[in-house]
Structure 1
Amino acid sequence: MKSLPSILANPFFRKLFCAQILATFGTGLSSIALAQLAYHLSDRHAGKILGIALVLKMVAYIFGAPLMSYLSAKIPSKLFMIIMDLIRMLLLVSMFFVQATWQIYLLIILINLCSAGFTPTFQALIPTLFQKKADYTKALSLSRMAYNLESLLSPLLAALLLFFVSFKLLFALNALTFLISSLLIYSTPLKSSNKTVQSRGFGCLYDYLTIKPLLQGLLFIFIAALAGAMVIINTVVYIQGTYHLSESITALTMAVFGIASLITTISIPALSQYASSNKLMKCGALFCIGGFAIGILTPNLTGIFIIWFILGIGASLIETLIGLTITENITQEKQNNYFTAYFSLSHACWLSAYFITGWIGNQIAMQSLLLLLFLISVLLYLLATQIKSPTLAKP
């Protein structure tokens, strides 16, 4: 089998992948700059401002994707993505002039509405560039690697930049990444797709849930979201609160999750030669369940590293392969609707996971939270494996 980077020989994918990397890293820098801006406006209420901003981001994703699909259905995909990039660029530049918290909230909603339009369109475009399933699987792995690397490297890059420049420059850098992304997309000779299938809007959510493999995948995504939210929200609580260790150990623990995700992502094209995407996603769910089960035993620091590594493997197996599940079960002309539905529904899963691991987790002991996550994940897994094929027409 050819190596993973060989897929970059496809010139169309190479340009789009570069655009994705730039936009992903730029957005990562902006997330850190947003926290700094919130503190700058109100140091005592920075956490509240940032929390509300993140909730608004998720709400924009959940409800914005179906709404934006109406617009994307009327515009060629290439032009639509360029417009979304340029609007986000202008909105980020306006971050320089923010003087009040409501302005942050408005800009967050608008920026993420554009992202809710751009991302499903981008995801639906990638499979059209490849004829072979193996090549598309490699493309998915590379795409997932970009997200994993961003989560590992963006905080380090931002910390380095903030030694020399104002946090507002991070917004400018993100704006620049969107400009370059739009130029890369413009220079890619993509075929103008004939969008004969109309947008289903919020109806695409119902359509998605009526197809067994997609519903199964969504339930597995919920398990992955629980694992990811546990790591994002409670690593600091676990390390610095329960074990009274340093911030550097907290960062190292989170890095263990990211490294496990990265290793797994690289391995997926090879694993796909021996098992279907559905079986690999089931394995990912079982890894997450196993990680929660071990966590109930109150391990030492080494044990936490092992648990976070296991959760990273499980989450990566699930999140990387969901795109393949969609393309295997949906005809090409309808995939944009289903990627839109997935984008919306998956972020609903993440919002629920943040609520469970954050708000509920704050009310109970850590071991009780891990027991709760274990039980929820087992229930989701059982539901996913017991789903019967619906008696509806194929999409």
Structure 2
Amino acid sequence: MLSVLANRTYRHLFAAQVLALVGTGLATVALGLLAWQIAGAGAGVVLGTALAIKMVAYVGLAPIAAALADRLPRRTMLVSLDIIRACVALALPFVSEVWQIYCLIFLMQAASAGFTPTFQATIPDVLPDEAQYTRALSLSRLAYDLESLLSPMLAAALLTIVSFPVLFGGTVIGFLASALLVVSVSIPSPKSTKPSSIWDRTTRGIRLYLATPRLRGLLALNIVVASASSMVIVNTVVMVKGRLQLAEPQVAIALAAFGGGSMGAALLLPRVLDHLPDRPPMLAGGAILTLGLLLGPLANSFLLLTILWAVLGFGFSLALTPTGRLLRRSAVPADRPTLFAAQFALSHACWLVTYPLAGQIGAQAGFDTAFLLLGALALCGLLLAAKLWRSDQTPTALDEAIPHEHPDLPADHPHLAAHGHGPLHRHPAVADDLH
């Protein structure tokens, strides 16, 4: 897996991702403490609202940012967004009102809504070989999981010697270091040659996404992933401290079990995907998540809950990690930022629904009911994904080269030239202006 780091451009981009993730993790801890300082017992309401603001920014602004990215060099855009995030983190220690937190969080997450899909869309251009790209996806998944484990530990260590506002300084350093690493390499910036309006560019990713059969199935699978992960993210602390009457260390252990399961799948996937197409492992991951939710009421002890969380983490990574491969082969390079932005927005729209469901059902009807209802929602998503992918009758579900013609194109058209000059040519199916 580490062989992909031999590529200098990817190595710098991966290091930028890791440093930005560490900075974000420190900010998450510091933001909770800042909310407590300002709102006291109302800190949970503040953080819940901030999380909702984050989801709204992701869903609403990612497609717009992708449309603007089509007119800017990717490196310029990534560096600019890192600097914006650093400036927001620099301002956070000085806020004194709750509304100021909301405004700054919206600005930071708006920048992230532009940065993350643009960054994700850049990696397949840096690593065009699919085997290398698969390893990069698994390495990225490991980075996310390690951040979720290590950032709270780093924050706890720092808080023994400094006060919490200093953690925002670590966030600033992380984002600035990320910007320096991005600016240190040359990044491909494929451009669309067809003039289009800002509305067309904003909606293009969603239209391409929904026009592609393999991605309609992916959207259904996003519902499964969101249902299971929301139960973990929203209810772990309440289940451990409330129902099981345990303390903060057990909360950390339970969350670490979820991250550990996810890391296990990320380590396994490159070898699996060398021999299998993407969809069987993804559907298997969805099945694990669904079954785990439906069996959730049986997890009535800390040991069983920890095991269940590890299993859900494994299924989460199994279903989610190959997503980039599906997106990569579903668009030409110039359209990848808009398609990655569409996946970013649509997947977070699923979380925008399942986060409050997990919290409200757990609080009002109990955790067993929350497990079963979210499990039922996940089952619907899984069955829909399987049906959509099974009904896709093109060769290996659009993953192989398909012979076809373009009788309306001149013989010297660049698309025909790129695929053999003949009227009948073949390539993996993508949704673009010609197809």
Q: Give the TM-score band, short-chain normalised.
A: over 0.9
Q: Distance in 1 between matches of 2:246 and 2:7?
A: 47
How much has 1:45 moved relative to structure 2? 1.8
Using the alignment, how far apart are the partners of 1:267 and 1:102 within structure 2? 44
Please name the residue that 1:345 is paired with: 346
Note the C-alpha offset of 1:204. Answer: 2.4
| Residue 394 (str. 1) matches residue 391 (str. 2) | no
Equivalent in the alignment of 1:217: 218
Inter-partner Cα distance in structure 2 for 1:66 and 1:317: 26
1:292 equivalent to 2:289? Answer no
User: What's the CA shift for 1:113?
Assistant: 0.8
Aligned to 2:278: 277
Structure 1 residues 379 and 310, CA, compared in 2 at 3 Å: closer, same or farther?
same
Which residue is equivalent to 2:248? Answer: 247
Matched, 1:22 2:19: yes
- Match for residue 401 of structure 2? none
| 8 Å Cα contact 1:284/1:316 also seen in 2 | yes
Bigger CA radius of gyration: 2
Contact 1:60 1:113 in 2 (8 A): yes
Counterpart of 1:119?
A: 116
AA at the equivalent of 1:338: L
What amino acid sits opposite 2:2 in the alignment? P
- Give how far 1:270 is off: 0.6
Q: Which amino acid aligns with 1:304?
A: L
Aligned to 1:184: 181
For 1:302, the aligned partner's letter is L
Note the C-alpha offset of 1:326: 0.6
Match of 1:377 in 2: 378
SS of 1:296's equivalent in the other structure is helix
- Identical-residue share of aligned pairs (%): 39
Deviation by residue 1:177-236 (Cα, 9 ceiling, x = unmatched): 111111111111224433436562134223312322112112212211221111112122
Deviation at 1:299, TM superposition (A): 4.0
Specify the alignment match of 2:416 in structure 1: none
Report the CA distance shift for 1:298/1:79 in structure 2 as closer, same or farther (over 3 A): closer
Moved more, 183-192 or 342-351: 183-192
The alpha-carbon deviation at position 298 of structure 1 amounts to 4.4
Alpha-carbon distance in structure 1 between the residues aligned to 2:267 and 2:81: 30
User: 1:225–1:315: 8 Å Cα contact kept in structure 2?
Assistant: no
Unaligned runs of 5+ in 2: 395-428
| TM-score with structure 2 setting the length | 0.86
> What letter corresponds to residue 22 of structure 1 in structure 2?
L
The amino acid of 1:307's aligned partner reads L
Query: SS in structure 1 opposite 2:321?
Result: helix
- Higher mean alpha-carbon deviation, 290-299 vs 335-344, is at 290-299
The reply to whether residue 163 of structure 1 matches residue 164 of structure 2 is no
In the TM superposition, what whole-angstrom CA distance separates every residue of 1:242-285 from its partner, at most 9, and x where no partner exists? 22223222221111111010111111101102221111110100
Rounded Cα–Cα distance in structure 2 between residues aligned with 1:178 and 1:204:
27
Contact 1:211–1:390 (8 Å) recurs in 2: no
Q: Secondary structure at the match of 1:70?
A: helix
Amino acid in structure 2 at the alignment position of 1:394: A
Q: Which residue is equivalent to 2:231?
A: 230
Q: Distance in 2 between matches of 1:129 and 1:319?
A: 21
Distance 2:40 2:20 in 1: 29
Instruction: Give 1:265's aligned amino acid.
Output: A
Partner of 1:336 in structure 2? 337
Counterpart contact for 1:224–1:315, Cα < 8 Å:
yes
Two-structure CA RMSD over aligned residues (Å):
1.8
Q: 1:212–1:390: 8 Å Cα contact kept in structure 2?
A: no
Q: Which residue of the other structure, out of 77, 91, 94, is the alignment partner of 1:94?
A: 91
Report the secondary structure of 1:42's partner residue: helix
Q: What is aligned with 2:126? A: 129
Whole-Å separation in 2 of the counterparts to 1:313 and 1:360: 25
Displacement of 1:359 after TM fit?
Answer: 1.5
- CA shift for structure 1 position 117: 0.7
Unaligned runs of 5+ in 1: none
The farther-off stretch of 258-267 and 241-250 is 241-250
Verify the 8 A CA contact 2:79 2:182 in the aligned structure 1.
yes
Shift, 1:114, TM fit: 0.8
The one-letter code matched in structure 2 to 1:141 is S
How many matched pairs?
392
2:227–2:377 Cα contact (<8 Å) kept: no
Higher RCO structure, 1 or 2 (CA under 8 Å, sep 6+):
1
- Residue identity in the other structure for 1:18: A
Q: 1:256-271 to 2 correspondence within 5 Å?
A: 256-271=257-272
Residue 362 of structure 1 deviates from its aligned partner by: 1.3
Find the aligned partners of 1:338 and 1:220 in 2 and give their Cα distance: 17
Runs of 4+ in 1 over 6 A off after TM superposition: 390-393
